[in-house]
Structure 1
Amino acid sequence: MKKVFTALLAGVFIISTAAITVSAEEYEIQKGDNLWDIAEDNQTSVDALMEINDLKSTVVHPKQIILLNEQYIVEQADTLEGIAEKYSVTVDEIKRWNNLTSDIIVIGQVLEIKSVSDEQVSDSIGKTNSTASKVDTETEEVTSKESREGKTIEVAATAYTASCEGCSGITYTGLDLNKNPNAKVIAVDPNVIPMGSEVYVEGYGYATAADIGSAIKGNKIDVFVPTLSEAEKWGTRSLEVTILE
């Protein structure tokens, strides 16, 4: 994808990891709607919609708000297998619901999770709150180099964004950055940092190597940021990247 590079110098800052979150996608019932058509349009089932919304019958009314599915925000060390197990679905289903062409997912990526029950959602939120507390208490620990085990290399880092004229916003691995502006992605030379690797980037945080660039050769990386102004502010930095084990 097209990149935006800058040559401005800027200070290094640390971005801490965010807690895992789940949120629901809503739909307002229109005149003539029924659960069967809504389920088909959203690749789910009537039973799932009834379970998610605690409906006692299939009757719905105009302007009624129902939940279609769940959205899961990918966190550090998540895998499709782990997320699928948490929601009692399959990896293939998650890939189909999200138009994924590979098993690579990135921190901050939003995944649609369909056909989940209230019990599963409640259990997931409970785990989310527990994980959030754990992340908060461990923030200081993960800031030490000793807690980030892996190979550390020094690189020249620039920044790019999807919100610019002529930018497609689609990474080499197929992730739409316009739909995932909070994704933590870096473009790499796969010969130096293997595609799909989880990394810790000094001044950027935990991220996934999920993109490439024509100018990214050798010990160079390009970090994704949501806006052009952030890319310009980033400039060019010499910093360390740890390829996590």
Structure 2
Amino acid sequence: MAPTGHESHRRSHRESYYERTDERHYKPTPHAQGAWSPDEQHFGPVSGLLAHVLDRHVAERPGPGLALARISYDILGRIAFEECEVTVETIRPGRTIELLEAVLRIGDRPVVRARAWLLASLDTTAVADSPFERIPHPDTLAPWTMGDTWGGGYIASLDARRVPSHRKGRTAAWISSTVDLVADEPRSELASYLTLVDTANGIAVQQDPTAWMFPNVDLTIHLHRTPRGPWTGLDTSVTFGPSGQGVTSSVLHDVHGPVGHAEQILTVRPIPGT
């Protein structure tokens, strides 16, 4: 992860998703509250916290800067709204290619594992290209109140702008948040961006979430360049299969164009009593 884009000042007066309680432990604030249940953490802030810890781990080491190329999260169980511990381990060290793993635990139980591939950066501007078109700039879109569909403190913390869509399971949206990841700690643009990617599963719903559940059990993000700026752009399609599985697929953007892709596997089931 490239240790660039960090804000240089501390902002103790600002709201945050987490408060650090010691070197490895973090307490969620109400802004991290989940959309499916008020006593769970939303995976968006959780994914951002893991990226933040990985980012700081890389920034504190000597040696050449490496850029995040892929981060994959596996959700191993319910993410209770409780204090959590995050640890980092180097799985495959290297000067040009490296694999790191961060684990989030609640109590003694691992709840989320994140693995990040870091690659050396070099100048390939001459051949840089993508076949994906840009999505409309957020300044051209009206604000969208996600709280009309979803509850929870995390959703309430977002500024969302959505491209109108006439097809279930298909839309594009921009997501931003002024809430810090960890109180009194500078955040990188990359960690802030990654915090918002999980929101993709809530912007192009196939079915009413009061009648159907479709939480994701993973999130995998591939980046062909490091995103910049405060907006996370999601050009998203959601597919439900006939046997209880679904997939949320997104082309990721910043305001300068496409930056990568994200995939989420869903477990689809009716809510009991509906």
- Report the TM-score, using the length of structure 2 for normalisation: 0.31
- Greater RCO, CA 8 A, separation 6+: 1
- Give the structure with the larger helix fraction: 1
